[in-house]
Structure 1
Amino acid sequence: MGWLWAIIVGFVLGLLAKAIIPGKQHSPLWLTTIFGIIGAIVGNAIARGIGIDETNGIDWGRHGLQLAAAVVVVFFGDMLYSAARGSRRRA
């Protein structure tokens, strides 16, 4: 069941990150979901590193770090995807 939650959280984080980033992103939905999953993992690692991974109630700090990491991962991941796709079209 953990993998299902990872996909759902990655999907939501990826879509939120795409909404926050200005302009149009060209990565497909499945790749945005993977970027969101990576962002969640990175955000959790950062939260664990600074000691806010488990708190009483809702972990707003951890969720904020997950979203911030997802924004960064989606931004750079989309740049890499666009560059790879553009170079493949020219060949």
Structure 2
Amino acid sequence: MSIQTILGAIVIGAIIGALGRLVLPGRQPIGWLLTIVVGIVAALIGTALAQVLGVATTNGIDWIELVMQVVLAVVGVGLVAGLRGRTRV
């Protein structure tokens, strides 16, 4: 794994996490760093899921894969925000 791949995953994860956070209504009690981590995980799982489901890779933007990643980011941000919200005193 090269440094470009790692930096690319961080950038894509940040974008996916931010999109997931924007789509989720309300305020989430999590920081941006945790949002980026959730976005990276959602991007990796979304890509793996798209490959398993046989979504075709195109030369441009893979819209179906992107939608999967954002939906997973919304679920991830919601779960993390819910868990963080309950543990605060």
Normalised by the shorter chain, which TM-score bucket? Answer: 0.7 to 0.9
Alpha-carbon displacement from aligned partner over 1:35-63 (angstroms, at most 9, x marks no partner): 00011011112101110152343211111
Rg larger in 1 or in 2?
1
Q: Is the 8 A contact 2:38 2:73 kept in 1?
A: yes
Structure 1: 4+ residue segments shifted above 4 A: none
In 1, Cα distance between equivalents of 2:86 and 2:6: 30
> For 2:61 and 2:26, how far apart are their aligned partners in 1?
31
Q: Which is bigger in relative contact order (C-alpha 8 A, separation at least 6)? A: 2
Aligned partner of 2:5 in structure 1 is 2
5+ residue gaps in structure 2? none
Q: Which amino acid counterpart does residue 52 of structure 1 have in structure 2?
A: V
Contact kept, 8 Å, 1:44 with 1:53, in 2: the verdict is: no
**Matched residue count:** 86
Mapping for residues 63-78 of structure 1, pairs under 5 Å: 63-78=66-81
Give 1:81 deviation, angstroms.
2.0
In the alignment, the residues of structure 1 paired with residue 61 and residue 86 of structure 2 have an alpha-carbon distance, to the nearest angstrom, of 38
Distance across 1 between alignment mates of 2:36 and 2:77: 9
Supply the distance in 2 between the matched residues of 1:45 and 1:4 (Cα, whole angstroms): 19
Task: State the TM-score, normalized to the length of structure 2.
Answer: 0.87
State the TM-score, normalizing by the size of structure 1: 0.85
Q: Indicate if the aligned counterparts of 2:21 and 2:73 stay in contact, CA closer than 8 A.
A: no
Q: Work out the CA distance in 1 between the residues paired with 2:58 and 2:19.
A: 23
Change (3 A) 1:53 1:26: farther
Query: SS of 1:73's equivalent?
Result: helix
